[in-house]
Amino acid sequence: MKTTRAILALLLIAITATAQDIRDKYRDADTYRQKYADAYLHGDINPTWIDTSHLFHYAVKTANGTEYIIVDADRRLKRQAFDPVPLARAIARLTGATVDPSHLALQNLAYTAGGTLLTFNLRGDTTYTYDPRRQRLTATPPVPRPFRRPAHWGKVDTEESAPPVPSPDGALEAFTREGNLYARHVATGRVTQLSHDGSPGEYYSARVTWSPDSRALVACKYRPAWTRTLRTIVAAPADRLQPTIEEIDYIKPGDALPVRRPVLFIPAEGKQINILFDDPDQQFSITNIAWHPASTSFTFDYNRRGHQQYILYRVTGADPRARPVVDERSATFIHYDRLYRHHLRATGELLWISERDGWRHLYLYNDTLPAAPRRLTSGEWIVKRVLDVDEVNRVILLVACGRDPGEDPYLEKIYRLEIDTGNLLCLTPENGNHRVTLSADRRYFTDSWSRVDLPPVALLRSATDGATLLTLERADISRALAAGWRAPEVFTAKGRDGRTDIWGVIVRPVDFDPAKKYPVIEYIYAGPHDSFVPKNFTIAPVDSPLAQLGFIVVQIDGMGTANRSKAFHDVCWKNLKDAGFPDRVAWIQAAAAAHPEMDISRVGIHGTSAGGQNAMGALLFHPDFYKVAVASRGCHDNRVDKIWWNGQRMGYPVGAHHAECSNVVNAHLLRGRLLLILGELDDNVDPSSTVQVVDALVKANKEFDYLLLPNQRHTSGGFYGERKRRDFFVRHLLGLQTPDWNNPDPPAITGM
């Protein structure tokens, strides 16, 4: 009997120890970010140039606290911006608060009066102005503003009403009334009706665009369409007992869209010119109506529904026919929200970015003549964005990725391109991701470069040749390393085709033991609009807190995401369920072959929004590999989600491929463990997207977990959702009992 009691006592002690161990792990996860952030010094500065000067300022965390620095680029000097001790005293006198000079926590810091005065906020909206020479601090209380409910991102602008739009010379103002366009002569009040063909069902937009010389204006004849409404129930409102309903505009794939037709008016001549262009009824949108500075022509953008054709049209003089300047076409989709143009007005040229040759590059058009463009950049790399165009010297500063063989092709570097010669000079050659800020005259720039596995170095550089003029800061992670911090690993492996490099990051717990086996959790977001694996150094990369519970966490950019070749990107076309999974699986398998501590018999995955769709899709379409998933606020069926995000990649019209990619339609395929998290008031992804998944899983008699969060919108669940996510992985991947959160401090076991 005594032996049995002793064994039982030891067993209970072991259980208690295990419970305490897991509780300690949760505590490590909760405190991870702050613990190591406090030990990370001289990194993550954000330089801000002062007006048009060659001075800039930044704040930096040092061993002595936060220091505020001003740099004179001309003199290559940096100095303390102000003495923090008298400022701390001034704040204490004015606010009555106790202030530590080494931890001032100034927010929205800015310099005025040529850098002699500084303004900032503390906590709240009060603005403080400080004169360091006089050590004088004044406060400007915030101006009360009436509460206005912010317009929802999906709000449909029917363009029916707007204040009168004055002409540039102030002589006329245009307005609409009962569907027609009018002009009022400001001096006399006389009103002239400009259009007569407007009606309630097809009226003139109140948004008009005057020519710079005030002689003409453009207005769109607007034919509205039926607008879908998203209704959500506020079941637990904070200000009342009974539930209420919220309603917002919410256009979905396949819904009717409004039609705009540009019309040119010349009021002094009584002319109305209806602009002619191809397929006006097939538009997704007409945007960016803009006049030439000489008032000789105007341009507008036509985005054909389905996003396979995007045209920049020009209308010249009184000619009703709109002529294409650029006619961008794709057999798959045009990444239209990444298009770029810049008009060089003095020379009649146009800079344009296109992926027409399979890579994202710059082209130079004749802005007025239908001539073939001149290619400015080429090769198997991409122009990610343009920073600046110097029209006088005909020089472009641009961000490019992937030009240096052997380096991570997502790393951003800055280049100087001469338009006329094509000479391309890299201003930031170091193997890292470069974040820059340009001086107002583009003579200098600051460059903070790093990698996720390499702490940052901040420099002042010449924008002419990239020469380093001054070292600003070098990050110090020695204290973090001494405290146990473990750097992430950048890992690359071949994708599904056996040729393409797939890049990702591996994060291990700080108490990592290479002799042990660790379950693997992938954090996924495979939205085709961008790439997502972090490239800048951070003390808490990917999902480091989650790793502290005893996991190896990874993040990967598979095919179907952006910022590589067009072919790499096109994998997502009408195929969002793919989500790069064949590449992700191959990458994790290769990582496990190189690192046997990765136990890929226990692989979990989690994501939010598009990542929520992806996470559930892993269990539906790749259940032999992924075993546990947490899907938050997922857009599980692309027919139920908003039009602008889904339509660009899934195409138009809605077809059978939408059902093939749907987590709702394929819910019966579920294997493994699934937790769905939903914010009840999600106004980004229709909550029905998740509820329909729940319905399908119930009908298929599947086992799953579902967490509905009242009063939450497009959320991962906040602290509570994060705790539930951790619990789910701990139980189903580690096989451990999670803490009893309803009894957080159980009494010690006694009586044995």
DSSP string, 158-206: -------EE-TTSSEEEEEETTEEEEEETTT--EEE--S--BTTBEEEE
* DSSP string for 560-574: TBSSS-HHHHHTTTT
The encoded tokens of residue 35 equal 């613990």
Mean pLDDT (the chain, rounded) = 94
C-alpha 530/C-alpha 412 separation (Å) is 14
C-alpha 605/C-alpha 733 separation (Å) is 11
653 cis-preceded (ω within 30 degrees of 0)? yes
How many residues does the structure list for the chain? 752
Please say whether the beta carbons of 284 and 676 come within 8 A. no
User: What are the phi and psi torsion angles at 69 (to 5°)?
Assistant: -120, 140
Contacts of 147 (CB under 8 A, 6+ apart): none
C-alpha 676/C-alpha 32 separation (Å) is 26
pLDDT of residue 659: 97
Contacts of 379 (CB under 8 A, 6+ apart): 359, 361, 403
pLDDT beneath 70: ranges in the chain:
1-17, 113, 145-153, 744-752
Please say whether the beta carbons of 495 and 582 come within 8 A. yes
Q: What angle do CA 543, 547, 553 make, to 5 degrees?
A: 65
DSSP strand E in 410-551: where? 412-418, 424-426, 433-438, 444-451, 454-462, 468-474, 489-494, 501-507, 518-523
Domain definitions of the chain by residue range? 508-734
C-alpha 102/C-alpha 107 separation (Å) is 15
Q: 508-734, superfamily in CATH? A: Alpha/Beta hydrolase fold, catalytic domain (3.40.50.1820)
Please say whether the beta carbons of 298 and 290 come within 8 A. yes
Contacts of 95 (CB under 8 A, 6+ apart): 122
C-alpha 377/C-alpha 359 separation (Å) is 10
pLDDT digits (tens, 9 = 90+) for 653-674: 999 999 999 999 999 999 999 9
C-alpha 445/C-alpha 223 separation (Å) is 48
3-class DSSP string for 616-629: HHHHHHCCCCCCEE
Distances (CA, A) of 46 to 85, 449, 459, 492: 23, 12, 12, 30
pLDDT of residue 125: 87
Please say whether the beta carbons of 495 and 502 come within 8 A. yes
Contacts of 671 (CB under 8 A, 6+ apart): 619, 623
pLDDT of residue 11: 41
Residue 272: what residue type? Answer: Q
CB count in 10 Å sphere of residue 32: 20
The encoded tokens of residue 573 equal 């076309």
- Label the pairing between strands 598-608 and 518-523: parallel
Helices (H), 452-527: 478-482
Contacts of 222 (CB under 8 A, 6+ apart): 158, 159, 160, 202, 203, 204, 205, 258, 259, 260
C-alpha 160/C-alpha 633 separation (Å) is 34
C-alpha 280/C-alpha 673 separation (Å) is 49
The encoded tokens of residue 75 equal 């003199």
End-to-end CA distance of the chain: 12
Distances (CA, A) of 474 to 40, 459, 509: 11, 9, 26
pLDDT of residue 1: 55
pLDDT of residue 470: 98
Nearest to 522 by CA among 594, 610, 581: 581
CA 125 to chain centre: 26
**HSE toward the beta carbon, residue 214, CA cutoff 13 A:** 12
pLDDT digits (tens, 9 = 90+) for 102-146: 999 899 999 986 778 999 999 888 999 999 999 999 999 887 766
Place of tokens 């039009």: 643
pLDDT of residue 144: 74
* DSSP string for 378-443: -SSSEEEEEEEEETTTTEEEEEEES-STTS-TT-EEEEEEETTT--EEES--SSSEEEEEE-TTSS
pTM: 0.94
C-alpha 295/C-alpha 15 separation (Å) is 81
Taking the C-alpha atoms of 418, 424, 426 and 427 in order, what is their torsion angle to the nearest 10 degrees? -10
Please say whether the beta carbons of 333 and 312 come within 8 A. no
Helix, strand and coil percent figures for the chain, each rounded to 5: 20, 35, 45
